[in-house]
């Protein structure tokens, strides 16, 4: 399997090279040159596998440059650290299925991909005798999960940018209480979009990237998306009969989580439609409903991991929507850069709507969903999952529906307390870090200052 850029100006590369490159050197995103297709017989064979076994079968379709036993070992070690043997439980509540994709070390769905990516990085670096300096931006959960995936590992440093004061206290604590010397937390005066822009700009400086051996941990790295494809198959097998079409509801801000579902559908998973759930930062909803992808100011909400305007993984979706027309992608991305927005024609919007529906949820609605769902079922939702459940309840009568539950409610205790009148149960992993010393550096929203900090600390 070879990997190519959505912008068409990088020669095809191997899986391991794609992992190490992160962002394509032409500024695009790396994608598989081909889409592996699964038959009904394949689906039946995969149905009863354990999560690590299923992950091996799916991931191995995308890589031919890692020995099978080594790949199995990487995957098995990645999911041994989860707090349930099932890795992702799927429960049915109030007529919808909820896939709990938050049982990793940091209690967020990002652990699914970042434990895998951390072990993958370690394997490749040891094999090549190389050093890697990871830089990433986070709206809350990616940072702590990425740090958990690589903390203390040899030959790796990690620099995580987060928007100062715009992540939850638990999310900040998970990132900044890690004492390992290879971990650097940078609190940027700005929004997540500012952090993401800085990271992508640094990767665009190819001389700086090569000089300092930079690697990506955000969902711009294909391995992140690859690991997420697996849980769509897992959840489908737990909720549906073979061949039955279902819907997935996906809370998302950066489009990576839902793009993994879209790719699973391309592979043959019987997804009737994907439902994109978001909060008041509804640029993706506007894109789906009206073809309006115009950047606006980011609004702080109860679901901070979705407080995003510039969704980097949308580029991967557009690449497939426009049948791999890389020149068109280059023109669209240049328009976005110059005009801070894209207006899509009606015919293209209709194509999108055939595959993806959308629902945006206000802060007040988020609290109301957490309260009502708890009163009806006794089940506690985090605010991101509440956005998805709101959409799922609207659609549950039409098709069997699976909602992805992206974070443990204990990561957002203030919102949950406001909704149900009491604190959510707190996992031991969160209790252990309360009161620990925080290690972070406040830094200006300035690309050159961030580059200088990285250069001084690699």
- What sign results for the dihedral spanned by CA atoms 315, 110, 306, 250? positive
Q: How far apart are CA 409 and CA 405, in angstroms?
A: 10
Q: Is residue 179 part of a domain?
A: no
Q: Is residue 442 part of a domain?
A: no
For the chain, the domain total comes to: 1
Q: Is residue 371 part of a domain?
A: yes
Q: How far apart are CA 315 and CA 320, in angstroms?
A: 9
3-state helix, strand, coil in the chain (%, to 5): 50, 15, 35
* Tokens linked to 82: 């989860």
Q: How far apart are CA 44 and CA 253, in angstroms?
A: 33
Geometric angle at alpha carbon 106, from 28 and 434, rounded to 5°: 130
Q: Is residue 454 part of a domain?
A: no
Q: How far apart are CA 132 and CA 111, in angstroms?
A: 20
Say if CB 291 and CB 284 are below 8 A apart. Answer: no
Q: How far apart are CA 105 and CA 109, in angstroms?
A: 10
* Tokens linked to 104: 């990793």
Residue range of the domain that includes 330 = 90-107+223-420
Radius of gyration of the chain (CA): 20
Give the CA distances from residue 344 to residues 59, 322, 327, in Å, rounded to whole numbers and listed in that order: 33, 12, 16
Q: How far apart are CA 407 and CA 418, in angstroms?
A: 18
Which residues fall within 8 angstroms of residue 13, CB to CB, at 6 or more apart?
Answer: 2, 3, 21, 30
Q: Is residue 404 part of a domain?
A: yes
Write down how long the chain is: 458
Q: How far apart are CA 185 and CA 178, in angstroms?
A: 10
Burial class (CB in 10 A: 0-12, 13-18, 19+), 165: exposed
Structure confidence at residue 216 (pLDDT): 87
> Which three-class secondary structure state does DSSP give residue 365?
helix
Say if CB 400 and CB 239 are below 8 A apart. Answer: yes
Buried (b) or exposed (e) across 131-153, using 16+ Cβ within 10 A?
ebbbbbbbbbbbbbbbbbbbbeb
Active site residues: 110
Per-residue confidence in pLDDT tens, the chain, 458 aa = 999 999 999 999 999 999 999 989 999 999 999 999 999 999 999 999 999 999 999 999 999 999 999 999 999 999 999 999 999 999 999 999 999 999 999 999 999 999 999 999 999 999 999 999 999 999 878 899 999 999 998 899 999 999 999 998 999 999 999 999 999 999 999 998 999 999 999 999 999 999 999 998 878 899 999 999 999 999 999 999 989 999 999 999 889 999 999 999 999 999 999 999 999 999 999 999 999 999 999 898 999 889 888 898 999 999 999 999 999 999 999 999 999 999 999 999 999 999 999 999 999 999 999 999 999 999 999 999 999 999 998 877 778 999 999 999 999 999 999 999 999 999 999 999 998 999 999 999 999 999 999 999 99
Q: Is residue 53 part of a domain?
A: no
Which residues fall within 8 angstroms of residue 15, CB to CB, at 6 or more apart?
Answer: 1, 3, 62, 63, 64, 65, 66
| CATH number of the domain where residue 246 is located | 3.40.50.1100
Say if CB 125 and CB 131 are below 8 A apart. Answer: yes
Q: Is residue 156 part of a domain?
A: no
Q: Is residue 199 part of a domain?
A: no
91 DSSP β-pair partners: 98
Structure confidence at residue 376 (pLDDT): 97
Structure confidence at residue 3 (pLDDT): 98
Rounded to 10 degrees, the C-alpha dihedral 251/257/263/264 comes to -70
> Which three-class secondary structure state does DSSP give residue 16?
helix
Q: pTM of the full predicted structure? A: 0.93
Which residues fall within 8 angstroms of residue 256, CB to CB, at 6 or more apart?
Answer: 219, 224, 225, 228, 312, 313
């Amino acid at each position: 399997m070879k990997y190519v850029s959505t912008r068409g100006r990088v020669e095809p590369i191997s899986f391991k090279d794609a992992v190490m490159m992160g962002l394509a050197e032409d500024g695009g995103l790396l994608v598989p040159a081909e889409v592996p297709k699964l038959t009904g017989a394949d689906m039946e064979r995969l149905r009863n596998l354990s999560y690590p076994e299923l992950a091996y079968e799916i991931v191995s379709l995308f890589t031919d440059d890692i020995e099978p036993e080594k790949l199995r070992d990487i995957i098995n070690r990645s999911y041994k650290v989860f707090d349930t043997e099932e890795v992702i439980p799927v429960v049915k509540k109030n007529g919808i299925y909820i896939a709990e994709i938050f049982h990793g070390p940091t209690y967020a769905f990002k652990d699914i991909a970042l434990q895998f990516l951390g072990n993958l990085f370690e394997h490749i670096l040891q094999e090549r005798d190389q050093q890697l300096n990871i830089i990433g931006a986070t709206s809350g959960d990616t940072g702590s999960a990425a740090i958990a995936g690589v903390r203390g590992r040899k030959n790796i440093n990690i620099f995580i940018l987060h928007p100062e004061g715009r992540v939850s206290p638990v999310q900040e604590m998970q990132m900044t209480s890690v004492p390992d010397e290879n971990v650097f937390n940078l609190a940027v005066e700005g929004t997540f979009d500012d952090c993401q822009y800085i990271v992508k700009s640094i990767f665009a400086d190819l001389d700086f990237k090569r000089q300092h051996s930079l690697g990506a941990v955000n969902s711009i790295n294909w391995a992140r998306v690859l690991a997420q494809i697996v849980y769509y198959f897992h959840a489908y097998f737990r909720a549906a009969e073979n061949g039955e079409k279902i819907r997935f509801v996906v809370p998302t801000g950066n489009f990576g989580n839902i793009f993994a579902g879209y790719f699973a559908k391309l592979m043959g998973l019987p997804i009737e439609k994907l439902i994109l759930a978001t909060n008041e930062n509804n640029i993706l909803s506007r894109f789906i409903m009206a073809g309006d992808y115009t950047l606006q100011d980011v609004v702080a909400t109860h679901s901070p991991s979705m407080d995003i305007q510039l969704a980097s993984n949308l580029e991967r979706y557009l690449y497939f929507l426009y049948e791999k027309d890389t020149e068109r992608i280059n023109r669209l991305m240049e328009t976005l850069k110059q005009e801070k927005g894209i207006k899509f024609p009606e015919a293209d919007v209709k194509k999108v709507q055939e595959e993806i529906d959308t629902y945006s949820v206000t802060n007040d609605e988020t609290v109301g969903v957490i309260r009502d769902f708890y009163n009806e079922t006794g089940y506690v939702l985090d605010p991101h999952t509440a956005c998805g459940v709101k959409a799922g309840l609207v659609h549950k009568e039409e098709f069997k529906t699976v909602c992805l539950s992206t974070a443990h409610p204990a990561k957002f205790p203030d919102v949950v307390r406001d909704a149900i009148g009491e604190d959510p149960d707190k996992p031991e992993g969160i209790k252990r870090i309360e009161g620990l010393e925080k290690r972070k550096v406040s830094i200006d929203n300035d690309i050159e200052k961030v580059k200088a900090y990285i250069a001084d600390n690699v």
